Amino acid sequence: MVEKRNPIAVSEAVKRVMDYAYTEKVEWVPLIEANERFLAENLAADQDVPSFDRSPYDGFAIRAVDSQKATKETPVSFKVVGEIGAGFVYEQEVQAFEALRIMTGAPIPKGCDAVVMLELTKDEVRDGQTYMSINRSYEAGTNISYQGEDVRKGEVLIQKGQFINPGVIALLATFGYAEVPVFKKPVVGVIATGSELLEPNEPLQAGKIRNSNAYMIMAQIERAGATAKYFGQFSDDLDVCIEEVKKALSQVDILITTGGVSVGDYDYLPAIYEAIGATVLFNKVAMRPGSVTTVAALDGQLLYGLSGNPSACYVGFELFTRPIIRKSFGSPTPHLRREKAILGEDFTKANPFTRFIRATLHYNDGQLVATPSGFNKSSAVSSLATANAFIVLPGGSRGYEKDMPVDVLLLEDVQGSEWPWDNIKKYSKL
Amino acid sequence: MVEKRNPIAVSEAVKRVMDYAYTEKVEWVPLIEANERFLAENLAADQDVPSFDRSPYDGFAIRAVDSQKATKETPVSFKVVGEIGAGFVYEQEVQAFEALRIMTGAPIPKGCDAVVMLELTKDEVRDGQTYMSINRSYEAGTNISYQGEDVRKGEVLIQKGQFINPGVIALLATFGYAEVPVFKKPVVGVIATGSELLEPNEPLQAGKIRNSNAYMIMAQIERAGATAKYFGQFSDDLDVCIEEVKKALSQVDILITTGGVSVGDYDYLPAIYEAIGATVLFNKVAMRPGSVTTVAALDGQLLYGLSGNPSACYVGFELFTRPIIRKSFGSPTPHLRREKAILGEDFTKANPFTRFIRATLHYNDGQLVATPSGFNKSSAVSSLATANAFIVLPGGSRGYEKDMPVDVLLLEDVQGSEWPWDNIKKYSKL
């Protein structure tokens, strides 16, 4: 018996899963472990930056007014009354024609309103007292980094949901986040199905293939920012499978099975979904590859039945699972980032379905060019390795030619897109 | 006393550090841990893919010759002699007008040379025997994925040095890499210097700032793919510092200190380098920010003295440390990836030095546009958080205007560039 399945549009399928977005959870981690996580609250400055008026250079702090008459012909001399390094505070007030030797980052002492760079001064010692002289005048404010000129206390610098990169780490350190609130990584379980599967450590056998999808998906889960948990391969026994799925669901936030979603007689997934009472959100999508992607929901948990075909499995994850993960990180742009590119070579085979062609991007004088990644049968794993984008080709009756503009979805990007599925349509020839 | 320093060109400074490239070391890690590492040997196929002729669909395997006379009016009927699932082998030879029910991924049985998709067949049972009929003819080879059509045994699929992404993980699994040879991550030590520094968990004090550079650099080290090891802050005592540096050097491959590299009286680094017998490769670079970046070498180990200024520190790492780390991963393109972009806004202040302006990239219809990231004083940390590129502005007497083409260096890219420093020059106005 062939089961009837009604394909739905990609955008509709994405919409259906997004309604089941996983609830955001927050945890606090030590600063350095927050790197490459997603910030769970707005980062506001707890202080001005700089938090005091400071010297950006090594030199001498002076009262600008004392420098007014200094020229090459008539240098003005200042009595050096002390020195101050970064991290220290000079307590006295500097008086007329006095100068304080000051290091980069040190606070401007009371009385001073300008800093003269060291290399523009001359020093001499008279009667055991050091003096320095300058041969030009300075305006008040010269070479002073004023309190708050970079950042004002209370200013929101980084929005909740931001990916934490080295620059964000610097801000977090500056504002005293020894511990950082980040979104918890959802745990995504992976079960491989298929009696043809060997694990990578097993020697090849006739009719069998090594399980590559489960490992690939685990890497995709990690790239999306979540934690992967592998449950191994399904048993051949349906009742055992049902128990395995129940057990896995109790340990994860999201469960992915690979394989077992097509209409072959040996595919258990529909029976399992029925047995555990999961609601199938869709089991066919009008796209290539990945048309037999199935998603079901049970008590708010999503179960993904991705294709056993590597390319279809890869696409299904990126379109339907990744945005759920990224949404759990508070991202307003959880979907694959969509941009425009120029098609790098002809892609002439027409197809009635929306296609996601794995592709490699490069720049031609700053212009994004997308070239299909090698041999493009949906069974080929080799081209997945070089792909860093999908070219989205809307279904239609004609092919696409080199240099035509196409939509691309970026795979190695952390920024994402809000909702890339509107207006994905055919372009007319340039 | 002001020490004399001779600035050298950026390209010359990079050349000097690259001569000290860290020796590649290899380790084997479990497959899933190889994700986001760098492959340490060429990955060659240990088998054909597919490794046997197989069915890409659920359907029936037949001898094509038997279908020659099938039409809508005169369907041809086949006796269904059995079925075969993926992972199994059908041992008998299929005879004339026999068909074998076959699942996706199962090996094509002996005798058969075509597969009819399930949905194009009709089945019926007569006298307890199942038959299926078709109403068109098929050529030999229809719907067969032939052995080796994706990949031939022995073919090199991935070059040594490749970044391991989910697609590469799939290939590694397919070819039996339960353990994967990857390049060892160099351990990069970080010491913060500066009497003004507080750690992020300390409350602010007058004249002091929180140490952001050390944490930022650790995040940069991790982004580059290495392991960061924090040694805390330097002592105020020179002799203790010398011991601290010696001890740190014995535990790391590369040592970075932040701060303490300018010509202020309190900077210990030159004295430390002298005391331990390190050779200073350069201590001034003709660039902004980061002109006081110092690199020294001792017994093949590199010691980086990066500026205490966050922007200068950031730039110094990306230009001079990152390529050393990436080279240790076998990358032929260890430097920041250089591309062309259009300047997103005017940048009119001329400067005689080559400048690295932190910038945010976006695409305008697939055209890369680089916009300086906010307030651009070199002391501002706030703009580092949003930057994902440097705009490289060669020194000269004039400013740059919106829409002019500029060179950019990409910060969040794993691909890199071979040697981005040739031909970095001024563009004439478009």
ipTM of the complex, rounded to two decimals: 0.92
Q: Are residues A32 and A73 in the same domain?
A: no
Question: Which candidate from A165, A365, A384 shows the least CB-CB separation from B167?
Answer: A384
Question: Which candidate from B157, B207, B384 shows the least CB-CB separation from A52?
Answer: B207
Residue in B288, B341, B352 with CA at minimum distance from that of residue B319: B288
Task: Give the number of domains in chain A.
Answer: 4
Q: Are residues A288 and A401 in the same domain?
A: no
- Specify the higher pLDDT residue, A61 or A376: A61
Which residue's entry shows tokens 């493009």?
A376
Q: Are residues A381 and A262 in the same domain?
A: no
Q: What is the mean pLDDT of residues A74-91?
A: 95
Q: What is the pLDDT of residues A85-141, one digit of tens each?
A: 889 999 999 999 999 999 988 999 999 999 999 999 999 999 999 999 999 999 999
HEC sequence for chain A: CCCCCCCECHHHHHHHHHCCCCCCCEEEEEHHHHCCCEECCCEECCCCECCCCECCCCEEEECHHHHCCCCCCCCEEEEEEEEECCCCCCCCCCCCCEEEEECCCCECCCCCCEEEEHHHCEEEEECCEEEEEECCCCCCCCCCECCCCCECCCCEEECCCCECCHHHHHHHHHCCCCEEEEECCCEEEEEECCCCEECCCCCCCCCCEECCHHHHHHHHHHHHCCEEEEEEECCCCHHHHHHHHHHHHCCCCEEEEECCCCCCCCCCHHHHHHHHCCEEEECCECEECCCCCEEEEECCEEEEEECCCHHHHHHHHHHHHHHHHHHCCCCCCCECEEEEEEECCCECCCECCEEEEEEEEEEECCEEEEEECCCCCCCCCHHHCCCCEEEEECCECCCECCCCEEEEEECCCCCCECCCCCCCCCCCCC
In-domain check, residue A190: yes
Give the relative orientation of helices A166-174 and B213-224 as an angle to the nearest 10 degrees.
160
Per-residue CA distances from B125 to A69, A237, B128 (Å): 113, 28, 6
Q: Would the CB atoms of B387 and A262 count as touching at under 8 Å?
A: no
Q: What is the pLDDT of residues A132-177, one digit of tens each?
A: 999 999 999 999 999 998 888 999 989 999 999 999 999 999 999 9
| Closest chain A residue by Cα to residue B144 | A379
Q: How many residues does chain B have?
A: 430
Residue in B319, B326, B276 with CA at minimum distance from that of residue B296: B276
Q: Which residues of B touch A379 (CB under 8 A)?
A: 50, 56, 145, 150
Question: Which candidate from A150, A213, A386 shows the least CB-CB separation from B381?
Answer: A150
Q: Which residues of A touch B42 (CB under 8 A)?
A: none
Distance between terminal CA atoms of chain B?
47
Q: Are residues B177 and B40 in the same domain?
A: yes
Last residue of a domain, one of B289, B307, B327: B327
Q: Are residues B36 and B74 in the same domain?
A: no
Q: Are residues B311 and B388 in the same domain?
A: no
Q: Do the bridges between strand A301-306 and strand A294-298 make them parallel or antiparallel, or are there none, so unpaired?
A: antiparallel
Give the 3-state secondary structure of residue A254: strand
Q: Are residues B91 and B71 in the same domain?
A: yes
Q: Which residues of A touch B203 (CB under 8 A)?
A: 176
| Closest chain A residue by Cα to residue B404 | A366
Q: Would the CB atoms of A145 and B218 count as touching at under 8 Å?
A: no
Give the pair of three-digit tokens for residue B107.
């090996």
Last residue of a domain, one of B148, B183, B218: B183
Which residue's entry shows tokens 């009635």?
A352
- CB hemisphere CA count around B158 (13 angstroms): 34
Work out the minimum CA distance from B304 to partner chain A, whole angstroms. Answer: 18
pLDDT score of A379 more than 50: no
Q: Would the CB atoms of A170 and B363 count as touching at under 8 Å?
A: no
Q: Would the CB atoms of A263 and B178 count as touching at under 8 Å?
A: no
In-domain check, residue B54: no
Say which CATH number the domain at A398 has: 2.40.340.10
In this predicted structure, what is the pLDDT of residue B424?
63
Q: Would the CB atoms of A339 and B363 count as touching at under 8 Å?
A: yes
Beta bridge partners of B279: B297
Q: What is the mean pLDDT of residues A68-90?
A: 95
Q: Are residues B117 and B168 in the same domain?
A: no
Question: Each residue's pLDDT tens digit in chain B (430 positions)?
Answer: 446 788 999 999 999 999 887 678 999 999 999 999 999 999 999 999 899 999 998 999 999 999 999 999 999 999 999 999 889 999 999 999 999 999 988 999 999 999 999 999 999 999 999 999 999 999 999 999 999 988 889 999 899 999 999 999 999 999 999 999 999 999 999 999 888 899 999 999 999 999 999 999 999 999 999 999 999 998 778 898 899 999 999 999 999 999 876 555 567 888 999 999 999 999 999 999 999 899 999 999 999 999 988 899 999 999 999 999 999 999 999 999 999 999 999 988 888 889 999 999 999 999 999 999 865 444 466 788 889 999 999 888 788 899 999 999 999 999 999 999 886 654 333 2
Q: Which domain holds residue A218?
A: 10-25+185-327
Question: What percent of the residues of chain A are helix, what percent strand, and what percent coil, each to the nearest 5?
Answer: 20, 30, 50
Q: Would the CB atoms of B178 and A166 count as touching at under 8 Å?
A: no
Q: What is the pLDDT of residues A47-56, one digit of tens each?
A: 998 999 999 9
Q: Would the CB atoms of A196 and B85 count as touching at under 8 Å?
A: yes
In-domain check, residue A3: no
pLDDT score of A22 more than 90: no
In this predicted structure, what is the pLDDT of residue B141?
97
Give the pair of three-digit tokens for residue A282.
């869709």
In this predicted structure, what is the pLDDT of residue A325?
96
Q: Would the CB atoms of B87 and A207 count as touching at under 8 Å?
A: yes
In this predicted structure, what is the pLDDT of residue A84?
93
| Closest chain B residue by Cα to residue A58 | B264
In this predicted structure, what is the pLDDT of residue B429?
31
Q: Do the bridges between strand A156-158 and strand A43-44 make them parallel or antiparallel, or are there none, so unpaired?
A: antiparallel
Q: Would the CB atoms of A118 and B340 count as touching at under 8 Å?
A: no
Q: Are residues A15 and A76 in the same domain?
A: no
In-domain check, residue A149: no
Q: Which residues of B touch A35 (CB under 8 A)?
A: 218-219, 222-223
Q: How many residues does chain A have?
A: 430
Work out the minimum CA distance from B299 to partner chain A, whole angstroms. Answer: 30
Q: Which residues of A touch B208 (CB under 8 A)?
A: 87
Q: Which residues of B touch A2 (CB under 8 A)?
A: 118-119
In this predicted structure, what is the pLDDT of residue A428?
31
Question: Which candidate from A87, A175, A266 shows the least CB-CB separation from B103?
Answer: A266
In this predicted structure, what is the pLDDT of residue B43?
92
Distance of CA B11 to the CA centre of its chain: 23
Say which CATH number the domain at B79 has: 2.170.190.11
Question: Which candidate from A206, A310, A368 shows the least CB-CB separation from B170?
Answer: A310
In-domain check, residue A96: yes
**DSSP structure class, residue B409:** E
Q: What is the mean pLDDT of residues A218-247?
A: 93
In-domain check, residue A100: yes
In-domain check, residue A147: no
In-domain check, residue A141: no
Q: Would the CB atoms of A207 and B49 count as touching at under 8 Å?
A: no
Q: Would the CB atoms of B103 and A384 count as touching at under 8 Å?
A: no
Last residue of a domain, one of B307, B327, B347: B327
- Specify the higher pLDDT residue, A384 or A107: A107
Q: Are residues B311 and B358 in the same domain?
A: no
In this predicted structure, what is the pLDDT of residue B378?
42
Q: Are residues A221 and A320 in the same domain?
A: yes
Give the burial class of B96: count Cβ atoms within 10 A of its Cβ; 0-12 exposed, 13-18 middle, 19 or more buried: exposed
Say which CATH number the domain at A178 has: 3.90.105
* CA pair distance A376, A22, nearest whole angstrom: 34
In this predicted structure, what is the pLDDT of residue A347?
86
In this predicted structure, what is the pLDDT of residue B347?
86
| Closest chain B residue by Cα to residue A317 | B166
* CA pair distance B183, A34, nearest whole angstrom: 25
In this predicted structure, what is the pLDDT of residue A60?
98
Work out the minimum CA distance from A73 to partner chain B, whole angstroms. Answer: 24
Say if residues B254 and B302 touch (Cβ distance below 8 Å): yes
Give the pair of three-digit tokens for residue B288.
């902004």
pLDDT score of A430 more than 60: no
Q: Are residues B387 and B375 in the same domain?
A: yes
